[in-house]
Structure 1
Amino acid sequence: MYKVLVVDDEPAIRKGLLKIVDWESLGFCVVGDVSNGIKAVALHQELSPDLIVIDIRMPRMDGLQAIREIRKTDGECQFLILSGYADFAYAKQAMEMGVSGYVLKPIDELELKGELLRIRSKLDQRSGHAKLSEFHVDALREELILKLIAADPADAPALESELLPLTNFVGKSKQILLVEAEDISQAGLERLESVKTKWLEAAEEEDLGYGFQTGPYIGFLLKGDLNRHGVKSEWIRLLQDAGGLQVGFTAAAGRIVYKLADIRQSYEGALGVLRNRFLLAEGQIHLVTEPVLSHTATEPNRHAPPDLEALATKLFYMLDLGRGEGVAETLEEAGRALAAYDSSESAIKSGLVQVLSIALSNLAALHQNVNIQDYAPLLAALYQHTHYDKALCAATDPARRTGGKAGGERSLPVVKQVMDFIQRHYHENLKLETMAEIFNYHKGYLGKMFKQHTGDSFHTYLDKVRIQQAIRLLREGHKVYEVSERVGYPNVDYFHSKFKKYVGAPPSSIKGAPPKAKAFSLETT
């Protein structure tokens, strides 16, 4: 064990240092803690510590003065100085006096651990114990990897030279894999931490990569290229086995690099993929070179918002016709359009809910057996899913069942289904193009089929249905402008012209009795 003396004028910091560091596991033993430089010099003469962790600013004798005094008689003692940002100039002076390093306040536990491991390595080499224990090798390697992925390019070569002896790669390629654990069973934080530990142990056992922890992610510096045959599937198996059924994962790998000094580039690539975590499939490893979702946007495109009303109308039509495949395709289309505009999780979820709400409300207004209140839990549950594919599936399956319940007889000929659809939706802005898209027909071919069956073009048949409904409404006493709007003619003058064309008299001539004018029929040929 190497002896350590802690020097700081703040009792809370001294106690904190003694508490947050597992000194024994790092090969150190704290032999004393004092509050100023004078006491530090005196205790150094008495105990001859191997390391002094010392603050710069202290009363009576500051850290720099204490280091100068000790250096007069001891050139071997290691110093780790503590300083705030305002003391950086003093820290530089201390570095010139041969201190081993410095840690900024407030103290970061991981940074402090890394510095202590570095000093332990120096002490081991000085005392002839150049070969570190396996534990210390792993800890030092993890600390160096973390420093490399955060380092400025100018500092990377020096860190690479320190890390290189601690690594052994099968090939020349290097790649960073980041994995985020997901508690799909709500088993709790303890379960997640257990799985993270198993991942690290499994990777070490199978000699697949060097592990480290950064923020919410477990990271691996891979020994093998994920593009090589079998490597990716081997990693997926490892992550699945360690996680079990209760904990899922989302994983991403950055680009391959060929120098340890460049692993920051691979790390940032993997991190960039995980920023689109909602769009990633759970339980898979996603490569930075793969598309996340077709035409996704990293920044919202404020000039091209998706037409949610149009998408909702299309979904409504698919539901009304009971076209399950069309329901799924329309929701997928909505998801892609939303992601292309704003790929954030909140924007996509709220957009899908809006499309579903409008479509289901319209369906409930048309079909008595559809109650919009029954779907409130579905819409609420959609927000609970943490992945796009799961959220889309949760929305699609119930919607398809709803469409099957509301839809008409799908065994009828397509033209008959179109005719029935017009009877239900005559008041809407119907187009032959829309019908062709819904039924997956070419517009021209569907129009020809329709005319052969009915004797009328699509638009003529639609006009006749509207005029027929207009006559019914006028006989019920509704005003002409109200009827015009209700049957799908927002322009009253246009309604007048259409009405006279088919009835031979103006709408005002309808007073509750059949008009004395030419009649028309909706009978098919």
Structure 2
Amino acid sequence: MKLKAMLVDDELPILHNLKAVLPWEDMGVEVAALARNGKEALEHFRELKPDLVLCDIRMPVMDGMAFLTEARKDDAECDFLMLTGYQEFEYAREALQRGVRDYILKPIDYEQLEQSVRQVCGQIRTRKLDRMQEVERWGRMASMAYEKQLYHALLGFHTDSDCIWLPEHGVALDRLWYSLYLADIDQYAQLSLQWSDQERRSQNAEITETLQHLVAADGSSFAVMQLREGEWCIVEQRARSVNWRTRADHASERLQHLREGMKERMKLPISFVAYPEGVRITEMESAYKKLQRMLLQSAGNWKLSGARGKAADNELREDPSLWRAVDVIVSRMRKLDQSAMSQALIDLKHCVIKKQEQERYCAEKVLHYLLLHLLRELREMNMIAPQEEEKIWRKLQHSISVKNVMEMIIELVDDAMDKAYSKKTGEMLMLSAKDYIHRRLSGDLGVEELANYLGISVSYFSLLFKSHFGETFVEHVTRLRMEMAQSLLLTTDKTVTEIGSVSGYSERRYFTKVFQKFAGMTPSEYREYHQAER
């Protein structure tokens, strides 16, 4: 790490010796400027912002002490070594009280001076490195918080009461516009059945890294997130003012770039779809689901979706009630709601019958898509065994009727629900609990309320929760809320009271008490400390 130094002395021979005798290059220091008095030095100081200043005390125009005082007003970080004569010892003592690192007596002992300079430079580098690591760490935390907010929005966890902010600028995310891109490995479910767990994780990680590299090269504001195995969502922050044709052209170019880049780097066939029409963060879930439906119909291709996209006509011809029915089925499955699931399957049957009666629609094709979507969701929730999935894929290779597909869906759902209940619902109950907590993290949330929602006793819930998450319900919720509060303190200018409210604490005093116990300092101290570190 190269440092900058400035040398200040009114005696020209000493000034030249300071520059010539000390091994600056060997010490990793650049002598950026020389000055003959404090006034001249102050001009260089403000322009160059050196890390280290070697300065004489007695000089004309502006002496070293006056220069030190003015320089400290501009930069409290720069380190000073003062040069002084025996008769100026009182000045030297005063300089030390003002934060000067050391003083060197004249006539100068250059070996001693070199030793002092090396020591101070080492301390400067350590301080700079610590600060860089701290800034990088908090930058990563802010970025993770931002992606977590986008992730929740895509999955529908975001509510109007959520306080969502862009970490770098403190801008509310719901004031911004986004374009979405979705990447999916073609026939992932079938391909991944042939892979070991290690191979599956490796393939997913490699694709994530490659996509991040491709979008980072562009320089735009992107977030790459994997919402489920074999599928990635790329969220691009963009300007609303751009017209549709420009957005569509941009999205087409982006898709082509991604597809060609992935084809060069990966052997797997990957499909891409885009939603170039600008969406707010509250609309992300709907746009994401539309892209998922398109992917079911576009393997090996790339397409545009949106109000005016080429694929919009196909999208509009679909009966949305069928997709809603599947969304309800997946939701009920996550909640293990058996009675509501029965009604959801009945609703799906009615939708299928209605679609069959409409000649211009192809019920078989749409229902086939729905089955594939359901299979993907069941796998993501660990509610279907690989051998059972293989059996379904073998059936789908043959021509089957709407009735047969409907029977497969019902059988699939019933088996998954029975399996979950036969395991005493442990893992699925905790999946439902996690979903419930994320949706209500900002509001009142109690263990009895959640246990009642899941239909189990408080004692059994507490035992199950601790076993699954490795911490109690209260510890888990408190940690999530405190992490949310820490993120908001670092990335927004909201008041402590407002952040406490968003984090689930209506009383500022209680919020402060909980936060201090968690972080070791009050919310205000936490914000001030990390702002100073930056």
TM-score (norm 1): 0.26
**Higher Cα Rg, which structure:** 1
Which has the bigger relative contact order, CA under 8 A and spacing at least 6?
Answer: 2
